[in-house]
Amino acid sequence: MSPRPLRLVFAGTPEFSVPYLEACRASGAEVVAVYTQPDRPAGRGRQLAPSPVKQAALAAGIVVEQPESLKSADAQQALAAYRPDLLVVVAYGLILPRKVLAIPRLGCWNVHASLLPRWRGAAPIQRAILAGDAESGVDLMQMEAGLDTGPVLLERRTPIGRDDTGGSLHDRLSLLGAEVLADGLRRTLAGEVLAATPQPKHGVTYAHKLDKAEAKLDFNRPAIELERQVRAFDPWPVAEGEIAGEPLRIWAAHAIEADHHAAPGSVLAAGRDGIDLACGHGALRVTAVQRAGGKRIGAIDYLNARPELRQRR
Q: Which positions make up the binding site? A: 114-117
**What CA–CA distance (Å, rounded) separates 288 from 247?**
14
Instruction: Name the binding residues for (6S)-5,6,7,8-tetrahydrofolate.
Output: 114-117
Beta partners for 190?
Answer: none
CA 92 to chain centre: 12
**What CA–CA distance (Å, rounded) separates 281 from 221?**
7
Question: What is the identity of the amino acid at 144?
Answer: E
CA 10 to chain centre: 18
**What CA–CA distance (Å, rounded) separates 245 from 29?**
58
Residue 138: strand, helix, or coil: strand
Alpha-helical (H) ranges within 165-242 are 166-189, 223-232
Beta partners for 6?
Answer: none
**What CA–CA distance (Å, rounded) separates 277 from 244?**
10
- Beta carbons of 31 and 25 less than 8 angstroms apart: yes
**What CA–CA distance (Å, rounded) separates 194 from 153?**
6
